[in-house]
Amino acid sequence: MGRSHRTQVGIVGCGPAGLLLSQLLHVYGIESVILERKDRAYVEGRIRAGVLEQGTVDLLREAGVADRLDREGLIHNGFEIAGNRRRHRIALDELTDGKVVTVYGQTEVTKDLIAARLAAGGEIVFEADAVTPHDFDSAKPFLTYSHQGENYRLDCDIIAGCDGFHGICRQSLPKEAVRSFERAYPFAWLGILAQAAPAADELIYAHHDRGFALCSMRSETISRHYVQCSPDEDLSNWSDARIWDELRHRIGDTDGHHINEGPLLDKSITPMRSFVAEPMRHGALYLAGDAAHIVPPTGAKGLNLAMSDIHYLTRALVSFYKKNSTDLLDRYSDQALARVWKAERFSWWMTSLLHKFPNEGGYDRAFENRMQEAEIEYLMSSHAAQTVVAENYVGLPF
């Protein structure tokens, strides 16, 4: 079996979910070990989401890792919807009694959490190969892995599967123990990270006959933009000039007054999928984040949904270790899934509203296209509709 060691909570995955769980457990005096397949540079270099709900910001402050976030994060009081040849601003703060979102890259959240865990003496095993959960339906679960040519066994009370959609934890469950719900969308996002000032002070979501577009940012000098493309798109077909041209057309910036060009730091294609696996608990194995659910990025919910899972799981583990109560652990899956499905609904709705769906199998989508235009017109003219959007965008309560 190799070398053995023990902790209270064994965490698989060093993304924001696993890192935040470990850091919050540390705050409450609970031990954990994180096992991560990739090296630190890879984990800290992944380009991901950047819109944080207030609940996520509050959790990062509770974990003691929000100093740089509070200094550098960009507070957004609203965002714009572009469609039907005009733009309309959704005033988040006015529609939700002062609630806002904060733009701060997931990459930066990850860096802050890793630095905090290591500074506190937390154990993160990078480049842990062949991580496998065992006996999670018993009272003595454990994880095995190899590291630098040696085999290890990590005994623990609880296993937290925070290892993403393709991770081993969900795959280790008996097929009959989990039910999956999935929707693959017939399009993807081509995303760029550019060394250029943002197109506007707030995000711009655009519905256009040529496809969806989003103008976002990571800082006052780094822009993050997306254009809808085919799921099997070849990046080599998209020159920098073509990307900038498409953004301008779809945002309605053909006069070139908004989109600021600059050197591209990253160019990638993101598939679009809605996915939920339930339940999220199997004996001593608890799934969190992308291991249990995926949302299309249109509603800015992926990272935030992972953080809400960690909120519920942390409270359950604190109650278990400090009060010897299993009540919140038993309720974890139901509590988390209640919020998951609401976020899935909002992300699905935003995606369905703003993207250009292809005519598939000879089906003409002319009627659905008109319905999108009518929905956008209604949204731009209805205070009630805008309130619903704002309430979901800033984040439903935990």
| Active-site entry in 185, 226, 332, 393 | 393
What gap in Å lies between CA 136 and CA 9, rounded to an integer?
12
Phi/psi at 96 (5° precision): -130, 25
Identify whether 140 is a catalytic site residue.
Answer: no
Query: What does the DSSP assignment read for 69-112?
Result: HHHHPEEESEEEEEETTEEEEEEHHHHTTT--EEE--HHHHHHH
Identify whether 76 is a catalytic site residue.
Answer: yes
| Active-site entry in 26, 76, 293, 355 | 76
| Active-site entry in 26, 208, 282, 301 | 301
Question: Buried b vs exposed e over 362-381: b needs ≥16 C-beta within 10 Å?
Answer: eeeeeeeeeebeebbeebbe
Residue 58 has which token pair?
A: 């509050």
- Contacts of 320 by beta carbon, 8 Å cutoff, 6+ apart: 158, 326, 328, 329
Query: What does the DSSP assignment read for 30-81?
Result: --EEEE-SS-HHHHHH-----EE-HHHHHHHHHTT--HHHHHHPEEESEEEE
The number of residues making up the chain comes to 398
Q: Give SS3 for 276.
A: strand
Residue 330 has which token pair?
A: 């038993």
Helices (H), 278-326: 302-323
Nearest to 297 by CA among 229, 351, 337: 351
Q: Give SS3 for 288.
A: coil
Identify whether 297 is a catalytic site residue.
Answer: yes
| Active-site entry in 104, 152, 185, 205 | 205
| Active-site entry in 16, 133, 296, 297 | 297
Residues involved in catalysis:
76, 205, 297, 301, 393
